[in-house]
C-alpha cells in the first residue's frame, strides 16, 4: 500500500465536518468497540500506541483555525501532547457483558472533543465477563472517514499474539514536538498565501476545463452541452433541499444515542447479494430497509420510501493516498414497503448503481470548498436543514479478513458505530475475520425503543440472508 500523504491543512470536506458540529446534532464522532479475549499486556499496548502515534501525524496534531477564516483549519503538532490523556483505563460496569460495554461507550460517543487537543481517545475496559476486555476507540470525522480510520489504526494490531519488535524494545513515546513558532499575524498571512495559491491552482484547473470544454463544444456541440447540463442536474439532485424526514415515526432529533450490535457470517451476505448479481453492500442495505419496514409495521404505518444517506468511496489513484475524508455523501430514497427481500434488493441495487454514476460526484469537494467560504452559521444551518431530514445512514467498511491481536490479546469482535450527523439512525457494517459486524447508532428522541429497533434490523437482515 502506498504511503499516506498528510497535508498541512484540512481538505474542504474535512473542514465542513469540523465547522458544522457547532450544532451538537451534527457532531461527527466515529466510535469503535473491540471485544478482546483477555486483557492486553500493558507495556506492549503502551509501546504499540506510542509507535503508531509516532508514524501517524494526525494522532499528535490539534486543529488551529486562522483568525479570519479565509482558509481551512491547519493541523499543528500539539506541544502539550500526552499519551496518558488519550489512553484511559476503566473497570467494566454491571456484569461486564457486551451490552454493558456498549452502555459505557454511549456517553463517550455523545461527548464533544476537547478542541485544543488531538481528536482521538482510547478507553481500555477491564473486567468483562469471562476474563475478557474491551477497547473503545473514538475519533473525529474531520480526521478521517471509516476506510482511513482502518489505515490509521492498522499499527495498533498484529497478526499474532507474539510480541513484535516495538514491544521487544520496550514502551515508547512519540517524539516531542518543537514549540510552535506561529503567531496570530503569521497565521493570518499564511492563510492568505495558502488561499491565494489555491485560487491560482483552481484557476488553472478551471481554465484547462474551459479549454477542454470549448474543444468538445467545437467537435460536438450537442454532446458537450448535454454533458454540462447533466452535471448541473446531478449537483442539483445531490444537494436538493428537503423539508422533513420521510418516516412518520422517526422524527425527533437529539444528541442522545443508543448503541447496539450484532454479527452474521460474511459468506452468507455475499451469497445473498449474488441472488441479484449484486454485492455485499446491496444485500446489507436490503436487510436494513427490511428491518425498517418491520419497525414501521410495529408502529402501525409503513411509508413507501425512506431517505437514506450513504458514502460513496472516492479513494482512487493519487487522491486515495491523502489522509482525511475521501467520500461523497449521497442522499436518496430507498424502497421500504416492498415485502419481498429479493425484489427489494434488486431495486436497491438499481438505485445505488444510479447514485454511483452521478456525474457531479467528483466535484463535491469543490462544492464543499465553496460552501466553506460562507459564514459558519450559514453553513451549519444549510447543512443541518438537509442532514436532519435523513431517516438513516448506512456505511460499509472493509476490515481485516483474518484474526488480529492487540498486545497479546486476540480481538474477537470489532464493532463499528458511525455518527448520526442529524439522522435518526446510523447502521454501519464492518467485515472482520469472516463475519460482518453491524453497529447501530440510534437517536433516543427518534427511536425510543432502541432494543426493538435493533431486533427489527436483525430480522430484516435474516430475511435477506435466507436468499443465500
Residue 251 has pLDDT above 70, yes or no: yes
Give burial (CB, 10 Å; 0-12/13-18/19+) of 159.
Answer: exposed
Alpha-carbon 65 to chain mean position: 23
Lowest mean pLDDT among 106-110, 169-173, 209-213: 209-213
Mean pLDDT for 269-294 is 97
Tens-place pLDDT, residues 188-212 = 666 666 666 665 555 554 444 434 4
In contact, 44 and 168? CB cutoff 8 Å: no
This prediction has a pTM of: 0.86
Active site members: 141
pLDDT, residue 237, reads 65
Question: How many residues are recorded in the chain?
Answer: 468
Least confident of 265-274, 309-318, 427-436: 309-318
CA separation for the pair 417, 427 (Å, rounded): 7
* pLDDT for 30: 94
Q: Does residue 369 contact residue 9 with C-beta atoms inside 8 Å?
A: no
Sheet holding 87-91, edge to edge: 87-91, 120-128, 132-140, 29-36, 409-417, 405-406
| pLDDT per residue as tens digits for the range 218-238 | 555 555 445 555 556 666 666
* Cβ atoms 331, 387 nearer than 8 A: no
Could you list the beta-strand ranges (E) of 162-288. 257-265
The secondary structure of residue 79, as a DSSP letter, is T
What pLDDT, on a 0 to 100 scale, did the predictor assign at position 5? Answer: 83
Q: Report all structural domains of the chain as residue ranges with CATH numbers, in order of start.
A: 12-179 (3.30.559.10)
At residue 410, does pLDDT exceed 90? yes
- Residue entry with cell 454491571: 94
Evaluated on CA atoms 197, 199, 201, 207, the torsion sign reads negative
- Alpha carbon separation from 435 to 14, 407, 466 (Å, rounded): 30, 22, 16
- pLDDT (mean) for 9-33: 89
C-alpha cell of residue 358? 452521478
How would you label 138-150 residue by residue, b for 16+ Cβ within 10 Å and e otherwise? bbbbbbbbbbbbb
Confidence of residue 442 (pLDDT cuts 50, 70, 90): very high
Residue 79 scores a pLDDT above 70 = yes
Amino acid at each position: 500500500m502506498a504511503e499516506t500523504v498528510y497535508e498541512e491543512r484540512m481538505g474542504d470536506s474535512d473542514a465542513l465536518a469540523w465547522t458544522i458540529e457547532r450544532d451538537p446534532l451534527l457532531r461527527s464522532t466515529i466510535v469503535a468497540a473491540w471485544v478482546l479475549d483477555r486483557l492486553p499486556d500493558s507495556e506492549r499496548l503502551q509501546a504499540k500506541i506510542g509507535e503508531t502515534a509516532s508514524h501517524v501525524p494526525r494522532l499528535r496534531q490539534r486543529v488551529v483555525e486562522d483568525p479570519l477564516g479565509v482558509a481551512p483549519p491547519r493541523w499543528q503538532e500539539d506541544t502539550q501532547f500526552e499519551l496518558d490523556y488519550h489512553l484511559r483505563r476503566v473497570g467494566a460496569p454491571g456484569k461486564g457483558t457486551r451490552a454493558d460495554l456498549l452502555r459505557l461507550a454511549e456517553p463517550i460517543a455523545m461527548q464533544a472533543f476537547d478542541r485544543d487537543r488531538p481528536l482521538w481517545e482510547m478507553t481500555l475496559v477491564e473486567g468483562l465477563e469471562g476474563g475478557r476486555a474491551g477497547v473503545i476507540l473514538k475519533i473525529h470525522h474531520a480526521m478521517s472517514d471509516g476506510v482511513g480510520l482502518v489505515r490509521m489504526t492498522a499499527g495498533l494490531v498484529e497478526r499474532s499474539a507474539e510480541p513484535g519488535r516495538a514491544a521487544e524494545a520496550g514502551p515508547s513515546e512519540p517524539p516531542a514536538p518543537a514549540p510552535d513558532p506561529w503567531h496570530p499575524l503569521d497565521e493570518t498571512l499564511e492563510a492568505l498565501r495558502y488561499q491565494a495559491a489555491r485560487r491560482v491552482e483552481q484557476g488553472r484547473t478551471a481554465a484547462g476545463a474551459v479549454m477542454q470544454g470549448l474543444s468538445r463544444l467545437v467537435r460536438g456541440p450537442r454532446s458537450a452541452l448535454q454533458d454540462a447540463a447533466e452535471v448541473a442536474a446531478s449537483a442539483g439532485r445531490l444537494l436538493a433541499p428537503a423539508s422533513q424526514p420521510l418516516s412518520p415515526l422517526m422524527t425527533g432529533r437529539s444528541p442522545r444515542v443508543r448503541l447496539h450490535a450484532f454479527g452474521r457470517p460474511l459468506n452468507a451476505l455475499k451469497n445473498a447479494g449474488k441472488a441479484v448479481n449484486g454485492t455485499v453492500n446491496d444485500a446489507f442495505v436490503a436487510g436494513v430497509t427490511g428491518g425498517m419496514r418491520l419497525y414501521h409495521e410495529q408502529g402501525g404505518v409503513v411509508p413507501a420510501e425512506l431517505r437514506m444517506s450513504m458514502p460513496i468511496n472516492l479513494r482512487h489513484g493519487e487522491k486515495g493516498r491523502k489522509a482525511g475524508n475521501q467520500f461523497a455523501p449521497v442522499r436518496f430514497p430507498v424502497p421500504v414497503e416492498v415485502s419481498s427481500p429479493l425484489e427489494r434488493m434488486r431495486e436497491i441495487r438499481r438505485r445505488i448503481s444510479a447514485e454511483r454514476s452521478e456525474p457531479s460526484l467528483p466535484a463535491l469537494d469543490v462544492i464543499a470548498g465553496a460552501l466553506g467560504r460562507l459564514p459558519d452559521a450559514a453553513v451549519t444551518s444549510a447543512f443541518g436543514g438537509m442532514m436532519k431530514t435523513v431517516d438513516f445512514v448506512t456505511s460499509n467498511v472493509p476490515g481485516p479478513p483474518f484474526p488480529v491481536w492487540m498486545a497479546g490479546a486476540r480481538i474477537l469482535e470489532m464493532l463499528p458505530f458511525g455518527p448520526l450527523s442529524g439522522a435518526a439512525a446510523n447502521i454501519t457494517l464492518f467485515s472482520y475475520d469472516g463475519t460482518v459486524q453491524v453497529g447501530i447508532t440510534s437517536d433516543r428522541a427518534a427511536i425510543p425503543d432502541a432494543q426493538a429497533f435493533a431486533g427489527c434490523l436483525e430480522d430484516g437482515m435474516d430475511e435477506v440472508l435466507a436468499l443465500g
